Structure 1
Amino acid sequence: MIKIVYITKRGKQISEQIKKVLDYFYYENKVENIKDFKINGDEKGFIFIMATGIVLRKFLDKIKNDKFKDPFVIVCNEKKELIPLLSNHLGRGNYFSKLIANHINGRVIFTTATDVNGKIGIDELSKILFLETPKRKDILKINKKILEEDINLIVPKHWKIKNLNGYKISYHDKYDVIVDNKIKLKPLRICVGIGARKNIERYKVFWAIKKGLFLRSIPIWRVDAFATVEDKKDERGILETINKFKKPLFIFKKEEINEVYKKINLEKSEFVYKNIGVYGVSEPASILAVKKLTDKNYENIELLLKKFKKDGVTVAISTEQ
């Protein structure tokens, strides 16, 4: 949950604009007046439409705890200038600031050295490329070094990366990312679950997947696998689309799909259950695909994009944590 907090009438107007952006990108959010605002402790981030001083004095000490786990904090003034204040990289404060600014005709004011100098720190790199989180000592070392020189970055050869500010990119046959010739970061597995009505057209599956990946800024080359339920194993629209993407497609049994609903609190559809015997397809299928590739427990798998519907197709995206 992302909370958007305002004080003034103008602040409320900007809050509603921000909410529309987050709604479009399927990020759970809520607008609150400062009088009603409470910190629950499970928020993904906070966007305060008010003076920085109010946030620093009144709320920041109640939010900050650990650089690696803190939710992001963004302050926005009434000129739509957004300042990422806390957890800019690992918490994705920078990402949300830029996303919002681009859609409300706003501007981002950066304060961290790497961002001000147009460089991508290793901690932010890990979020952009969906990598495991770097160690604290490596973040400090690389982010200091990158201000003075470009750093070697070695990525898998099928990754279509050409330019990243602050890095000299080369490729290898391994499925690891190497930073500065010695820091190895494991790419997190990303899987897309697909559900669709019977006899769905291929182009509808294709564009639903593309839209889902767009919503989470994931290029197709970064996807490791697709997944669906056994009832869809012969669905031509799905099979032909996945074949075009040249990615593996995992087929899961109904019993496996329903087992996920016993372990995780996912939205259930009685309509889908009456038709094919499961409460949903895309969300549990994406989770099972990640589990299959990583053998991670359910609590270590994150649903990046909840069920997204488009033209008779449902798409969900999961990754390991």
Structure 2
Amino acid sequence: MIKIVYITKRGKKIAEEIKDVLDYYHYDNKVEPIKDFKIERNEGGFIFIMATGIVLRKFLDEIKNDKFKDPFVIICNENKELIPILSNHLGGGNYFSKLIANNINGRVIFTTATDVNGKVGIDELSKMLFLETPKRKHILDINKKILEEDVSLTLPKYWKLRNLNGYKISYHDKYEVVVDDSIRLKPLKIAVGLGARKGIERYKVYWAVKKALFLRNIPVWRVDAFATIEDKKHERGILETVNKFKKPLIIFKREEINEIYEKIDLEKSEFVYKHLGVYGVSEPASILAVKKLTNKDFDSIKLILKKFKRNGVTVAIATENL
């Protein structure tokens, strides 16, 4: 949940604009006037439309705890200038600042050295490419070094990243990312769950997947697998789309799908249950696929895009949660 907090009438109007952006990108969010605002400690981020001093004196000490786990904090003034001040890289403060500014005709004011100099720090790199989190020492060392020179970055050969500020990119046959010839970061597994009405056309599945990946800024080459239920294993629109993306399709039985709803609190659809005997397909399929790819417990898997519906297709995206 992202909380958007305001004080003035002008601030409320901007808060509603920001909410529209977050709604479009399917991020859970809530707008609150400052008089009703409470920190519940389960938030993913905060956007304060008010003076910096108010946030620093009144709220920041209660929010900040650990650089690796803190929710992001963004301050926005009434000129729509957004300043990410906490958890800018790992927490997504920079990402959300840019996302919002680009959609409300605002601008971002960066304060961290790598961002001011147009470089991508290793912590932001890990967030952007869905990699395991670097060690604290590596973040400090690489982000300092990258300000003075380009650092080597070795990627899996089929990843289609060609240019990145601060790095000299090369490729290898291994499924790992190597920074500065010595720091090895494991890519997190990403799975896309698919559901669709019977006889769905390929183009509808294809564009629903493309839109879902766009909403989470994930290139197709970064996806590890697609997944669906056994009832859809011969669905031509799904099969042709997955084949076009050249990714594996993992099929799960109804029993496996239903077990997920006993272990994880997911939205249930009585309509889907009536027709397929399960309460949903895309969300549990994506979670099960990551579990199959990693052999991790469900606590280590995160649903990063809840069920997204488009033209008779449902799409969900899950990944490892380290």
Normalised-by-shorter TM-score class: over 0.9
Structure 1 length as normaliser, TM-score? Answer: 1.00
- Equivalent residue of 1:171, what SS? strand
Query: 5 Å matches for 1:166-245?
Result: 166-245=166-245
Structure 1 distance, partners of 2:235, 2:176, is 34
Equivalence for 1:290: 290
Q: Deviations over 1:263-298 (max 9, x none)?
A: 100000011001000000000000000000000100
Structure 1 counterpart of 2:108: 108
- For 2:313 and 2:184, the matched residues in 1 are separated by 37
Deviations along 1:183-210, one digit per CA (max 9) or x if unpaired, are 0000000000000000000000000000
Quote the offset at 1:86 in angstroms: 0.1
Please name the residue that 2:117 is paired with.
Answer: 117
Q: Quote the Cα distance in structure 2 between the aligned partners of 1:120 and 1:271.
A: 46
Q: Deviations over 1:76-125 (max 9, x none)?
A: 00000000010000000000000000000000000000000000000000
Secondary structure of the equivalent of 1:35? helix
Percent identity of paired positions between Structure 1 and Structure 2: 80
Q: Which amino acid aligns with 2:172?
A: H
Amino acid in structure 1 at the alignment position of 2:191: C
Equivalent residue letter for 2:221: W
Distance, in Å, in 1 between the alignment partners of 2:138 and 2:271 is 50
Q: Which runs of 5+ in 2 are unaligned?
A: none
The alpha-carbon deviation at position 240 of structure 1 amounts to: 0.7
Residue 250 of structure 2 corresponds to which residue in structure 1? 250
C-alpha distance in 1 between matches for 2:103 and 2:135: 34
Q: Give the secondary-structure state (helix, strand or coil) at the position aligned to 2:35.
A: coil
Partner of 2:126: 126
Q: Does 1:69 align with 2:43?
A: no
1:236 CA drift (Å)? 0.4
Distance 2:193 2:19 in 1: 26
**Alpha-carbon offset, residue 179 of structure 1:** 0.1
Mapping 1:25-64, distance limit 5 Å = 25-64=25-64
**In the aligned structure 2, how far is the partner of 1:163 from the partner of 1:243?**
28
**C-alpha separation between the residues in 2 aligned to 1:232 and 1:29?**
33
Does 2:166 align with 1:156?
A: no
